[in-house]
Amino acid sequence: MVNILHSLTFDVQQKQVVAVVGPSGSGKSTLLGLLAGLDKPTSGSIFLNGHEITSWSEYQLAHFRRRHIGYIFQAFHLIPTFTALENVALPLELSGEPMAVERAQQLLKSVGLQDRHGHYPAQLSGGEQQRIAVARAFACRPPILLADEPTGNLDSATGQLVIDLLLKLHRDHGSTLVLVTHDPNLAKRTDRIITLHDGAIASDKLIGF
C-alpha cells in the first residue's frame, strides 16, 4: 500500500476561496477526492458542513454530494449523448427541481452559452465545455464547490475566461471554493494557498498576510 497523504489537518472557512498547489504527485487531486467523498481515507476524519462523512455509505455520500457539493473536473466529464442544456439540467432533475430546464437555461446564460442549448459536447470547444461544467457544478446551488485543475486542459486565454467566470459565480452564489491548480496566477487570486509536498502540508498562507 502506498500512503499518498500524511497527517493533514486544516479547516476551511465558509465562503473562503482556497487554492491547493504543489508539484505533480504531491497528493492534490487525492485530497480533493477525499473532500468530495469520492475516496475514503485509511485513517482520520473528514467533516463537511458539520457532517462527519468518513464512515458513510456510497448511497449517503451520493445523496450528500447531490445537495451540498459541486465538482468541476479537469477533463470536463460531460455526458457526450446529452446536449449542453441536458448536461446542466441533469443534476437538477435528479434533485427533484421542478423548474430544472428553466434553471439550466438561466445557468447557461450566466456562462455566456445561451445560444448553445442544443449543442452536444463534441460540437463545442474545450472552453465552452468547461463553462458548461461550471454551470452544472453550480446547478443545485451547492454550498461547497471543488475544482480539480479547472484550466488544465485549456489555453491560457481561455483558462483566464473560465477562472473569471468561476470566481464571479462564487461571489454571486456565496459558495466555499477549494481548487487544485498548477497556475500561480490563479492561486494568487484566492484567499488562501495550501501547498502540498510529498503528501503533507508544506505551507498554509492567507493571501495578503
What phi-psi label fits residue 9: left (phi over 0), alpha (psi between -120 and 50 degrees) or beta? beta
Reported as a pLDDT band with limits 50, 70 and 90, residue 203 is: very high
User: Would you say residue 1 has pLDDT above 60?
Assistant: no
User: Would you say residue 79 has pLDDT above 70?
Assistant: yes
Write the DSSP string, 101-134.
HHHHHHHHHHTT-TT-TT--GGGS-HHHHHHHHH
pLDDT of residue 20: 95
Q: Report the pLDDT averaged over residues 73-86.
A: 93
User: Which distant-in-sequence residues (6+ apart) come within 8 Å of 128 by Cβ?
Assistant: 84, 113, 116
Between strands 176-180 and 17-21, the pairing is: parallel
Rounded distance, CA 158 to CA 161, Å? 5
Interval 152-197: pLDDT, tens = 888 888 888 888 888 888 888 889 999 999 888 888 889 999 999 8
- H helix or E strand, kind and range, residue 198: none
pLDDT of residue 183: 85
What phi-psi label fits residue 179: left (phi over 0), alpha (psi between -120 and 50 degrees) or beta? beta
User: Would you say residue 209 has pLDDT above 80?
Assistant: no
> What share of the chain has pLDDT > 70, as a percent?
98
User: Which distant-in-sequence residues (6+ apart) come within 8 Å of 126 by Cβ?
Assistant: 76, 153, 154, 158
User: Would you say residue 97 has pLDDT above 60?
Assistant: yes
Q: Report the pLDDT averaged over residues 1-27.
A: 85
pLDDT of residue 159: 84
> What share of the chain has pLDDT > 90, as a percent?
51
Nearest to 144 by CA among 46, 67, 69: 69
Interval 158-170: pLDDT, tens = 888 888 888 888 8
User: Which distant-in-sequence residues (6+ apart) come within 8 Å of 17 by Cβ?
Assistant: 167, 170, 176, 177, 179, 189, 190, 191, 192
Q: Report the pLDDT averaged over residues 42-62.
A: 89
Q: Report the pLDDT averaged over residues 76-100.
A: 93
Grid cell at residue 189: 487570486
What are the chain's domains? 17-206 (3.40.50.300)
If one counts every other C-beta atom within 10 angstroms of the C-beta of residue 101, the result is 15
Nearest to 6 by CA among 183, 205, 201, 203: 201
Grid cell at residue 184: 500561480
